[in-house]
Amino acid sequence: MATELTPAVHEHHTSTGLDNTKMAMWGFLGSECLFFGSFISTYLLYRNQTADGPTSADLYDIPYTSVSSFVLLMSSLTMVLALAACHRSDQRGMRAWLLATALLGMVFIGGQIYEFTEFAHQGLGLDVSPFGSSFYVLTGFHGAHVTVGILMLLLLVGMSMFNRLGSDDSRKVELIGLYWHFVDIVWIIIFTVVYLIPS
């Protein structure tokens, strides 16, 4: 791989040979698995506790959510292309793909905001039923994670534009990529468990 040819100027030697920041990110993502796992368990426990409010069958618009899910999945592809450009030292290409990733993320978030308002109009509030509470809080925290990812992507673009991102710093792109892919995978699980499995 191209990275192996670049002399590791500022890489510190580590006992395992793995990069410190990458190991930290993997650890953090391991922790996140239990975070989303607990919220998903809560949702599974409550998905039929609708307390005479709207049920999931009344609300979910599967074709609509499929499209926004597809948009989010495509952002993983653009993220991979951004990292590949970064490895080629193609800063412009990297910025373009990072921006595309952030943009797809924003489309997804926009879709989620629309979905939330739509559900609220149809009578599903946070305070209506355990189903409502667990739905909004689970998908809301996922949306918050995507938003943090978008901010980090934009920060990367900014750093690259002002030359604060050296060519040996592909690690930063890779780290944020790891986070981004993780958030996407979580969405695949949420989409399957929350939307596709009928109540």
Partner 1 sequence: MATAAAQESLFRRPTATTGWWSWVTTVDHKKIGILYCATAITFFVIGGIQALAIRTQLAVPNGTTLTAETYNQFFTMHGLTMIFLVVMPLGVGIMNYMAPLMIGARDVAFPRINAFSYWVFLLGGLFLYSSFFLGGAPDGGWFGYAPLSTELPGNGMTFYSLGLQILGVASLLGAVNFIVTILNMRAPGMTLMRMPVFIWMTLVTAFLLLFAMPVIAVALFELMFDRVYNANFFNPATGGDPVLWQHLFWLFGHPEVYIMILPAMGIVSDVLPTFSRKPIFGYAAIVFAGIAIGFMGWGVWAHHMFAVGLGPVANSAFALSTMFIAVPTGVKIFNWLGTMWKGDLHFDTPMLFAIGFVSMFIIGGLSGVTHAIVPHDAQQTDTYYIVAHFHYVLFGGAIFGLFAGMYYWWPKVFGKLLSEGLGKIHFWLMFIGFNLAFGPMHILGLEGMPRRTYTYPDGMGWNLWNLVSTVGAFIIAVSIAVFLVNAVLTKRKGREAGADPWDGRTLEWSIPSPAPEYNFAEIPIVKARDDFWHRKYVVKPDEQVTPVVAGGAVAAHEDEDDPGHGIHLPAPSFLPAMAAPGLPIMAYGVIYSWPLIVLGGLLLLLALFAWVLEPSEVDH
What is the closest distance, in whole angstroms, from the C-beta atom of residue 96 to partner 1 in the complex? 21
When binding is defined by CB under 8 A, the residue of 8, 28, 92, 192 that contacts partner 1 is 28
**Do 66 and 194 meet the contact criterion of CB atoms below 8 Å apart?**
no
Is 9 a binder of partner 1 (CB under 8 A)?
Answer: yes
Q: Between 114 and 141, whose beta carbon lies closer to partner 1?
A: 141
Q: Between 48 and 192, whose beta carbon lies closer to partner 1?
A: 48
Is 35 a binder of partner 1 (CB under 8 A)?
Answer: yes
Round to whole Å and give the CA distance between 3 and 118: 47
The angle subtended at Cα 125 by Cα 121 and Cα 127, nearest 5°, is 160
Q: Measuring CA to CA, how many Å separate 68 from each of 7, 11, 44, 105?
A: 41, 39, 22, 10
Draw the binding track, 129-168, toward partner 1 (x: CB under 8 A; -: no contact).
xx-xxx--x---x---------x---x---x---xx-x--
Round to whole Å and give the CA distance between 182 and 179: 5
Structure tokens at 77: 């592809």
Half-sphere exposure of 152 (CA within 13 A, CB side): 16
Part of the chain binding partner 1 (CB under 8 A), chosen from 21-29, 71-79, 88-96, 106-114: 21-29
Sites of contact with partner 1 (CB under 8 A): 9-10, 14-16, 18, 20, 23-24, 27-28, 30-32, 34-35, 38-39, 42, 45-46, 49-51, 126-130, 132-134, 137, 141, 151, 155, 159, 163-164, 166
